[in-house]
Amino acid sequence: LAKTTQPISMDSYEGQEVNITCSHNNIATNDYITWYQQFPSQGPRFIIQGYKTKVTNEVASLFIPADRKSSTLSLPRVSLSDTAVYYCLVGALDTGRRALTFGSGTRLQVQP
Amino acid sequence: EPEVTQTPSHQVTQMGQEVILRCVPISNHLYFYWYRQILGQKVEFLVSFYNNEISEKSEIFDDQFSVERPDGSNFTLKIRSTKLEDSAMYFCASRGEAGYTEAFFGQGTRLTVV
């Protein structure tokens, strides 16, 4: 399994754009990149997923360079409610038998 | 939006007792998982389950743990003889058909072993 490295914590202010970068140097050809969000005492929640280039949904954007050795989660105009832990996961594009492996995540603190 | 439901939300048990944590995955999902999270630590994988059998398990999932899908809707995690170190949040998750990779997590059961 590809190991991921993320910053332990980040601070931001309301209304700012936040970019969280994840390093995954050993990503395999059939691996995809997924980001989850977790609030205290709640289960992780899927944010976005991608394989290459850029993916955007109503919540975030995911930028993946051509070498796929890193990825950046971009949260536009964060609010206080975006304070959470964000996990970058790398997993194979296979059946659901393989479990997702969580790293330590990035604790984002949004200030007013 | 479909959701994974876990019961109970909080369970307190005495050391050495058996506990069963229950989960109702999203209907028509085929892949099921249990994770745990000790307070302040990362989410740890325990076991994955597909087609009525364990697909993968971690070193945490020893002989004290077992999983079952008894009736086609519930998915349970049993801890036979709880230890203090089993105190954690336990999360159930499910995923859809092959190739559909988003996992939906329940809200968790907080297990406290005293």
> What pLDDT does A94 receive?
62
Using the beta-carbon criterion (under 8 Å), do B93 and A42 form an inter-chain contact?
Answer: no
B49 vs A100: CA distance, rounded Å: 13
In a mutational test of the B interface, the residue from A39, A41, A47 whose CB has the highest number of chain B CBs within 10 Å is A41
Contacts of A103 in chain B (CB under 8 A): 42
| C-alpha angle B87-B89-B95 in degrees, rounded to nearest 5 | 140
Residue B32 tokens read as 């099921």
Alpha-carbon distances of A98 from A6, A22, A26, B88, B113, rounded to whole Å: 22, 21, 17, 23, 30
pLDDT surpasses 80 at A97: no
Collapsing DSSP to helix, strand or coil, A80 comes out as helix
Output phi, psi for B86, to 5 deg. -80, -10
> What is the pLDDT averaged over residues B89-103?
82
Give bridge partners of residue B95 from the DSSP assignment: B31, B103
Cβ pair A101, A44 in contact under 8 A = no
Which residues in chain A touch residue B30, judged by CB atoms under 8 angstroms apart?
96
Q: What is the pLDDT of residue B99?
A: 61
Count Cβ–Cβ pairs < 8 Å, chain A vs chain B. Answer: 70
Residue A72 has pLDDT above 60, yes or no: yes
Q: What pLDDT was estimated at residue B71? A: 85
For B36-93, the pLDDT digits (tens) are 999 989 999 999 998 899 999 999 999 999 999 988 789 999 999 999 999 999 999 9
pLDDT of res. B98: 59
Do A43 and B98 make contact, defined as CB atoms within 8 angstroms? no
d(CA B15, nearest CA chain A) in Å: 23
